[in-house]
Amino acid sequence: MADLSGKITELGKKILVSVGKNNKPTYAVMAIATANGIFKPISSLTDKKEKPEARKYAALREFATECVAVPTYWACGVGAATLGAKLFKNNPEKKAMARANMMFLGVCTAALLVIPAVCSVALWGLDKALGKDKPKSKEPAKLDVTSPAPEMQIQTDTSTKFGNNIYRPNMNTFMLKGGLKI
Amino acid sequence: MIPPILTNPVIYNITQTTQAQVAIETGLKAVGRPGFILLDNSIDKNTKKYSSMKEFLYQLTCLGVSLGVVIPVFKKGSFAIARKLFKDEAVFQAFKKSDDFNKFRKLTQDEKILKLNEINSATGKNYTFDNINEDLAKGMIEVTSIAGSILGLSILSPLISRPFIRPVLKSLGMSEKKPTQSDSAKVDVKA
């Protein structure tokens, strides 16, 4: 048991020395994004002021945001650091400094531009998959009394067919000539 | 032409400090995320304004909680924890507080030796430049700062911001637009 705790202490010491020598900007941001991906959805799910459906949706969005953030921080940080090292490959003194500074700039670019942009696209896709981008169909329909009434078919041809003979009553008798004559 | 910022020692020192990393990153998030919400054309104007302001206030809360409370507390406690974990390490016995160690770290080699002689004469111990493990102490400070940032940004900020943001937005005249009963049951009687 004492041997195991000694090994854990030694491992902890190695990790601390490594962080002390080079505290890469990706360590902090990736650790925070991972923790955000766990605790922020839990926090949203426990918000009693929101409806259960809204809570679940907010938690899913937060989880998706952090799922995008973790690999983006890593990719931007490591990519920028590699570029920094290539720019100073002939100057070993400045190479380490350029690597660290470029990694920091990469992480900053990820936080300011890349993650919000990727999230906009990814969350739009998520909304589309969940059908959240469509207008709600459950909304009660407005009672619109100005809407036109359905057209009714009115028979204007008053002729009645009896076989091949057409009998046309003279409507003028009633309509135009009818009424009280003064 | 390579910009001199890439090999700037001031930037390098910032990149090596968790507190500065977290502060800058959260500040950028407070600009970037609301900015992208405002640029989104698929959301209506009022919702955009409300959501971006909400995100901005949330990031400000994160910044305040982490930098103002959690990281300083963790930073101060880091050496107390380290003394229990690494009982034989000279660096944690020679320096009682992380601030004292940070001042020591900034000194030149000669100044460091002088400072250790000063500590030796005051405590009666025999600390040498070689048995002071600076990387271990620096790593301890940074790892506890990361732990503090996680506690502040991921656990405390969502809990603190929830009752704080809505009243602030309300006082700014912003409210989340939800369909009301009167809206949905509206009867259009125009003839």
| pLDDT higher than 50, residue A129 | yes
pLDDT computed for residue A158 by the predictor: 54
The whole-number average pLDDT for the span A126-146 is: 61
The pLDDT score that the predictor gives to residue A104 is 94
Q: Provide the ipTM.
A: 0.84
Half-sphere exposure (CA, 13 Å, Cβ side) for A44?
18
Contact B15 A124 (CB under 8 A): no
CB-CB under 8 Å, B154 with A101 = no
Give the count of domains, chain A: 1
Q: Which of B5, B10, B15, B101 is most worth mutating to test chain A (most A CB atoms within 10 A of its CB)?
A: B15
For residue B86, name the pLDDT band (cuts at 50, 70, 90): confident
Closest-CA distance of chain A to residue B189, Å: 6
Element (H, E) at A100: helix A92-109
Cα–chain-centroid distance for residue B159? 17
Question: Using CA atoms, how far apart are residues B63 and B56, in angstroms rounded to an integer?
Answer: 11
Residues 71-130 of B with CB under 8 A from A: 85-86
Q: Which of B38, B32, B64 is nearest to B52 (CA)?
A: B38
CB contact under 8 A, B143 and A16: yes
Write out pLDDT tens, residues A78-88: 999 999 999 98
**DSSP string covering B115-140:** HHHHHHHHH-----STT--HHHHHHH
Using pLDDT thresholds of 50, 70 and 90, give the confidence band for residue A101.
very high
Q: Pick the residue from chain B with its C-alpha nearest to A143.
A: B187
CA distance B56 to B165: 10
Interface test with B, best of A39, A132, A147 (most B CBs within 10 A): A39
**CA of B2: how far to CAs of A8, A56, A80, B5, in Å?**
44, 48, 14, 9
Q: What is the identity of the amino acid at B28?
A: L
Classify the phi-psi angles of B189: left when phi > 0, otherwise alpha if psi is within -120 to 50, otherwise beta: alpha
Which phi-psi region, left, alpha or beta, contains residue A50 (left: φ > 0; alpha: ψ -120 to 50)? Answer: beta
Whether pLDDT at A138 is above 50: no
Bigger pLDDT: A152 vs B150 = B150
Indicate the pLDDT class of residue A77, thresholds 50, 70 and 90: very high
* A180 within some domain: no
Domain range for A83: 21-130
Do residue B188 and residue A144 have CB atoms under 8 angstroms apart? yes
pLDDT band at B185 (very low <50, low <70, confident <90, very high): very low
Q: Rounded CA gap, B6 and A103, in Å?
A: 10
Asked if residue A104 is part of any domain, the answer here is: yes
Nearest CB partner across the interface for A28, out of B22, B133, B162:
B22
Q: Which of A59, A60, A102, A95 is nearest to A79 (CA)?
A: A102
Q: Is the pLDDT at B54 greater than 80, yes or no?
A: yes
Nearest to A80 by CA among A58, A96, A57, A100: A100
pTM > 0.80: yes or no: no
Total CB pairs under 8 A between chain A and B: 152
The more confident residue out of A173 and B169 is B169
In a domain, A139, yes or no: no
Residue B119 structure tokens:
């500590």
| Reported confidence tier of residue A163, pLDDT bands at 50, 70, 90 | low
More confident residue, A128 or B1: A128
Q: How many CB atoms lie within 10 A of CB B6?
A: 21
Given CB atoms, is A95 within the 8 Å cutoff of chain B? no
Please answer whether residues A29 and A76 qualify as being in contact, where contact means their C-beta atoms are separated by less than 8 angstroms: no
Specify if A146 maps to a domain: no
pLDDT at A68 over 70: yes
